[in-house]
Amino acid sequence: MAKNSILLLRNYMQYALNLHTKTYCTKTPPHYDIIIVGGGMVGTTLACTLGKNSKLSDHRILLLESGTPHNWIKTEKYSNRVSALNLNTYNLMNKIGAWKHIAEIRCSSVKNMQIWDAISDVMISFNHEEVSNVAAHIVENDLLIYAVGKELCCLKNVEVKNQVKIKEFVLPQQPSQNVFVHLNEGETFTCNLLLGCDGAQSQVRNAMGVNYISWKYDQMGVVATLKLSEANENVTAWQRFLPTGPIAILPLKNNLSSLVWATTPDHARALIELKEVDFVDKINDALWKPLDNSSIIQESTKAFNKLLEFFELPTSNEKQLPPKVIGVDPGSTAAFPLGFGHATNYVKQGVALVGDAAHRVHPLAGQGVNLGFGDVSTLNKILGEAVYSGRSLGQITDLQEYETLRQRHNFPTMVAIDGLHKLYNTEFPPIVLLRSLGLQFTHALNPLKKAIINQAAR
Ligand SMILES: Cc1cc2nc3c(=O)[nH]c(=O)nc-3n(C[C@H](O)[C@H](O)[C@H](O)COP(=O)(O)OP(=O)(O)OC[C@H]3O[C@@H](n4cnc5c(N)ncnc54)[C@H](O)[C@@H]3O)c2cc1C
């Protein structure tokens, strides 16, 4: 009781101080322990995870989202925005009770992956028997938010406000101060800890004034729902690296897959304007059509395969053929800009960035939102422990621990993804040869493949 009165008084004094320079309404603003800005996949999951954390059960959480409430209705039609979720994400979804809703509705399992170089035709494959039971699950983004939302709406300590427009954040200058969140409509909230899950254009990150290293890839991601010719068991994710960017098809169900095709902006714009039959031809060409390749590359990769055969190691001769595409679900084609972004700091006193607000990667490795869910798990653990140890939320030492742990994982992953993008974005024969030999070598060595999959699953 006494703690609450002190808190209210402190709030009021800080609020009155803010009024010196700005004019907002004069009531003491409602106070929350945590305010999360952004109710995308990461923000919604963070709200649910923190809300379910028994160590934080007497803490009030507010989730602010600028969009309308999610109203997912099951239709036969699949969404064109899907994510490949790794094992860690699957475990998190299970822990917060959302996976059962996803599994009840629909998702697919990726048991095999085949990735190959369009120029040299060298490939690497991951088979579920060699590496793990399931490499990834493919889930529609909207369905994931719906499933998490189903758990979130039962939590008494979490409130959600949609269609909010945030005017400004006033961040603490000293450890004892609160964060102020002023909405356009004149409403104000205060909190001990502000969590920015507001995506790549984060307003929270701007308010923090942290350094943000970013660039645009000269590529857009074309997405669509594809109809396949054969209704065979569809459990393989295919990715072919073309000189203009990678094309990937991810299984949805036996005769449906989801397309993610990264290509030049002009090509992307041309593709989405095409008639269905022409678009289908372009997709099949991108998956199947052989490209010219220099004889040196051909001879060298052949010779390396022979060497691998001699040692009875797997070679890239065992390449499987991808499925044939016969149609595109009407209205499912769209294109999204692709970019890289890294906030050099994820935290400041009383505030932290989570998900795409902190880091943005090329989708070629299907890691973007998985990194965000990794942030959620780590932050949840650290905040729970802080409160359990009697510390207040938002202390910089706890937040710095979150930053260190996550940057230690996220940054090398981001550099590796960007490196892969650069490595495959060239037709320069010596580079093509080197990357092809590297791929053959990796494919031949199961422990190396296991290490790659384990890293991608974290
Ligand atoms: C083509 C493509 C394919 C991809 N495939 C994969 C994949 O297979 N696997 C994978 O792991 N990742 C993938 N990604 C990446 C993944 O989509 C992103 O990492 C993920 O969407 C980020 O989620 P987020 O919640 O952090 O941010 P966002 O999805 O950007 O959500 C931010 C939310 O905040 C809200 N918001 C923004 N500003 C404010 C504000 N000021 N106030 C209140 N609310 C606000 C927005 O309305 C939105 O709901 C892919 C990306 C692309 C483009």
DSSP string, 339-359: EEEEES-SEETTEEE-GGGTE
> What is residue 209's predicted lDDT score, i.e. its pLDDT?
96
For the Cβ of 149 lying below 6 angstroms from any atom of ligand 1, the answer is no
Residue indicated by tokens 């969590």: 195
Q: What are phi and psi of 324, to 5 degrees?
A: -90, 135
Cα first-last separation, the chain: 42
Q: How far is the CA of 177 from the centre of ligand 1 (A)?
A: 30
**Six-digit token pair at 168?**
């400004």
Q: How far is the CA of 54 from the centre of ligand 1 (A)?
A: 27
Among 369, 285, 416, smallest CA distance to 82 is for: 369
User: Ligand 1: which of 198, 204, 220, 373 to mutate, judged by most atoms within 8 Å of the beta carbon?
Assistant: 198
For the Cβ of 140 lying below 6 angstroms from any atom of ligand 1, the answer is no
**Helix and strand element counts for the chain (H, E):** 13, 20
Are the CB atoms for 242 and 288 separated by under 8 Å? no
Are the CB atoms for 418 and 367 separated by under 8 Å? no
Whose C-alpha lies nearest to ligand 1, atom 48? Answer: 40
Surface-to-core class of residue 67, CB atoms within 10 Å of its CB (0-12 exposed, 13-18 middle, 19+ buried): exposed
Are the CB atoms for 90 and 133 separated by under 8 Å? no
> What is residue 75's predicted lDDT score, i.e. its pLDDT?
87
> What is residue 455's predicted lDDT score, i.e. its pLDDT?
72
For the Cβ of 18 lying below 6 angstroms from any atom of ligand 1, the answer is no
Cα angle 346-347-350, degrees, rounded to a multiple of 5: 150
Report the distance separating Cα 254 and Cα 108, nearest Å.
9
CA distance readout (Å), 257 to 6, 112, 274, 281: 57, 14, 19, 16
Whose C-alpha lies nearest to ligand 1, atom 35? Answer: 38
Q: How far is the CA of 198 from the centre of ligand 1 (A)?
A: 8
User: 56: which DSSP letter?
Assistant: G
Q: How far is the CA of 27 from the centre of ligand 1 (A)?
A: 35
Surface-to-core class of residue 15, CB atoms within 10 Å of its CB (0-12 exposed, 13-18 middle, 19+ buried): buried
- Sorted by sequence, the CB contacts under 8 Å of residue 136 that are 6+ apart come out as 84, 85, 86, 109, 110, 237, 366
Are the CB atoms for 33 and 193 separated by under 8 Å? yes
> What is residue 10's predicted lDDT score, i.e. its pLDDT?
55
Are the CB atoms for 297 and 437 separated by under 8 Å? no
> What is the CA 112 to chain-centroid distance, rounded?
21
User: Ligand 1: which of 48, 66, 148 to mutate, judged by most atoms within 8 Å of the beta carbon?
Assistant: 66
Each residue's pLDDT, cut to its tens digit, for the chain (458 residues) gives 444 555 555 555 555 545 444 445 557 899 999 999 999 999 999 999 999 999 999 999 999 999 998 778 888 899 999 999 999 999 999 999 999 999 999 999 999 999 999 998 888 888 877 665 567 999 999 999 999 999 999 999 999 999 999 999 999 998 889 999 999 989 999 999 999 999 999 999 999 999 999 999 999 999 999 999 976 789 999 999 999 999 999 999 989 999 999 999 999 999 999 999 999 999 999 999 988 777 778 877 877 777 777 767 777 767 788 999 999 999 999 999 999 999 999 999 999 999 999 999 999 999 999 999 999 999 999 999 999 999 989 899 999 999 999 999 999 999 999 999 999 988 888 898 888 888 887 877 777 777 777 777 66
Report the distance separating Cα 249 and Cα 103, nearest Å.
21
Structural domains in the chain, CATH included, are: 1-69+162-210+345-424 (3.50.50.60), 106-140+219-335+426-458 (3.30.9.10)
> What is residue 285's predicted lDDT score, i.e. its pLDDT?
96
Report the distance separating Cα 16 and Cα 178, nearest Å.
13
Are the CB atoms for 360 and 213 separated by under 8 Å? no
Q: How far is the CA of 445 from the centre of ligand 1 (A)?
A: 35
> What is residue 13's predicted lDDT score, i.e. its pLDDT?
54
> What is residue 417's predicted lDDT score, i.e. its pLDDT?
94
For the Cβ of 369 lying below 6 angstroms from any atom of ligand 1, the answer is yes
